[in-house]
Amino acid sequence: MKRVAILGGGPAGAIAAEQLAAAGMRVALFDEKLAWEKPCGGGLTYKAYSQYPFLLDNPTPKRFVTETTLSAPRAGEVNLKLDEPLLIYSRFDLNRMLLERAERAGAQLEKTRVTGLERRGSGWALKTPGGVAEADFCIVATGARNPLRDVGTQLKPGDTMSALGYYVQGVQERIDIQFLPKLEGYIWIFPRCGHLSIGICGKGEPASALRKRLELYMMERGISWKDAAFYSHLLPSLETRSWKSNRVAGEGWMAVGDAAGLVDPITGEGLYYAIRSGDLAAGALLEAGGAGAEAHYRRLLRRDFAADLELGSRIAKRFFGGKFLLGAIPSRMVQFTRRSPRFSAIMQDLFAGKQPYLGLKRRLLQNLNGSLYEMLMSLGFAKVVPGRLFAKPENY
């Protein structure tokens, strides 16, 4: 029986541990903290809980959010009802639930830090403060701040976003998303059980500047951060060229979740990709039985979602910094969501994770005429427009 060491017990590591232990492998999972409140919004989309229904069907506390407000400079705000709710967990609760599942499946959990990883023959020696553990195969799930230099994604400058915020007392039913001028990122307010997580993520701007932007936003809304717990962390946000050379696997190891850079470069969504990659890595190891598992994993990732995230990295700069009809794209997005039911349906699918980036351009173009028509109708251009500037779509 293979001995598999899982380094890191966040969602990516816990799922891999559960799958491998359930299939009869000897699995030891090492995490310096085990369940903890990792800085995170804790939001899971329909894409995640429809593929992993246990995320929905369990007694762990969570919030279902069915409404979001999107705001952007000079576009005001728009409310979007979510047909497929967003699920929000505290990360302590989510991590604990996933680790308990791994333990129930037979994985051995060790609360310790892995301080070094050394290749010994065809296996591995893992150094921990308590001694050395041996393994035949390693799954690297140590997150965005992976301290193990020889395994996992090599993040270059430009491949990360800063993300920080406050846990604030308060109650709110909806999610707020605020786009800001000249920022490749956004502010969010996520309602959680008993408090709000208010944060900002951004690329290419120092954390101190992001924090100022966030505090200004909170001040303008009368939200105090005095006595609120502050959090900050790194989010992988790979540039397109980094996707091409992304080091996700090597001889005797595979990296999953943030340690493999598997985060949506536009939204910062990482939980689904952590869970999915942990699942795919376990599947690759079980199917290939060791030899060739790394190449198999790379292929599975590519086929499943890595190509989509790579496309996301191409779109990101244009999305946050580009213009459409002379206006900033996030602002146009808010305006179109407000005025066009067709466009609003696309936004619904993007939020739910039902609309990948692959195919998005085509769908937007197919709906452009109809969306513009709806927008102009709602602005009262009914008499002027049909048949002139924009043709009335055929299915009207």
Ligand X SMILES: Cc1cc2nc3c(=O)[nH]c(=O)nc-3n(C[C@H](O)[C@H](O)[C@H](O)COP(=O)(O)OP(=O)(O)OC[C@H]3O[C@@H](n4cnc5c(N)ncnc54)[C@H](O)[C@@H]3O)c2cc1C
Check: CB of residue 135 under 8 Å from CB of residue 123.
Answer: yes
93 scored as a contact of ligand X (CB under 6 A) = no
User: Which residues sit opposite 198 in a β-bridge?
Assistant: 166, 189
Taking contact as CB under 6 A, which single stretch among the options 38-46, 222-230, 349-357, 373-381 is the one that binds ligand X? 38-46
DSSP string covering 363-379, please?
HHHHHHHHHHHHHHHHT
Q: Is the alpha carbon torsion for 297, 299, 305, 310 positive or negative?
A: positive
Q: Which amino acid, one-letter code, is at 213?
A: R
Q: Which amino acid, one-letter code, is at 173?
A: E
Residue of minimal Cβ distance to ligand X:
270
- The residue from 4, 18, 39, 330 that contacts ligand X (CB under 6 A) is 39
141 scored as a contact of ligand X (CB under 6 A) = yes
98 scored as a contact of ligand X (CB under 6 A) = no
CB of 272 to ligand X, least distance (A): 6
Q: Which long-range contacts (CB under 8 A, 24 or more apart) does 18-23 make?
A: 18/98, 18/101, 18/102, 18/105, 18/107, 19/105, 19/278, 19/279, 19/282, 19/283, 19/286, 20/107, 20/282, 20/285, 20/286, 21/102, 21/105, 21/106, 21/107, 22/105, 22/106, 23/282, 23/286
| 7 versus 21: smaller Cβ distance to ligand X | 7
| 9 versus 265: smaller Cβ distance to ligand X | 9
Q: What whole-number distance in Å separates Cα of residue 203 and Cα of residue 223?
A: 25
| 162 versus 340: smaller Cβ distance to ligand X | 162
| Residues ≥6 apart with Cβ < 8 Å to 114 | 7, 30, 32, 126, 127, 128, 142, 148
Q: What whole-number distance in Å separates Cα of residue 292 and Cα of residue 269?
A: 29
163 scored as a contact of ligand X (CB under 6 A) = yes
CB of 128 to ligand X, least distance (A): 8
202 scored as a contact of ligand X (CB under 6 A) = no
Footprint on residues 224-243 left by ligand X (CB under 6 A): 233, 235
9 scored as a contact of ligand X (CB under 6 A) = yes
CB of 309 to ligand X, least distance (A): 12
- The residue from 18, 31, 93, 294 that contacts ligand X (CB under 6 A) is 31
Taking contact as CB under 6 A, which single stretch among the options 142-150, 211-219, 288-296, 321-329 is the one that binds ligand X? 142-150
| 110 versus 294: smaller Cβ distance to ligand X | 110
User: Which residues sit opposite 63 in a β-bridge?
Assistant: 88
Q: What whole-number distance in Å separates Cα of residue 7 and Cα of residue 17?
A: 10
- The residue from 5, 114, 238, 372 that contacts ligand X (CB under 6 A) is 114
Token pair of 220, please? Answer: 């303008």
Footprint on residues 302-361 left by ligand X (CB under 6 A): none
10 scored as a contact of ligand X (CB under 6 A) = yes
Taking contact as CB under 6 A, which single stretch among the options 32-40, 77-85, 212-220, 314-322 is the one that binds ligand X? 32-40
Check: CB of residue 191 under 8 Å from CB of residue 63.
Answer: yes
21 scored as a contact of ligand X (CB under 6 A) = no
CB of 198 to ligand X, least distance (A): 10
Residue recorded with tokens 């939020």? 351
DSSP letter at 387 equals T
41 scored as a contact of ligand X (CB under 6 A) = yes
CB of 289 to ligand X, least distance (A): 25
Residue recorded with tokens 């102009």? 376
Size of the site for ligand X (CB under 6 A): 37
- The residue from 29, 102, 140, 263 that contacts ligand X (CB under 6 A) is 263
| 124 versus 343: smaller Cβ distance to ligand X | 124
The residue ranges that bind ligand X (CB under 6 A) are 7-13, 30-33, 38-43, 113-114, 141-143, 147, 163, 199, 233, 235, 257-259, 263, 268-272, 274
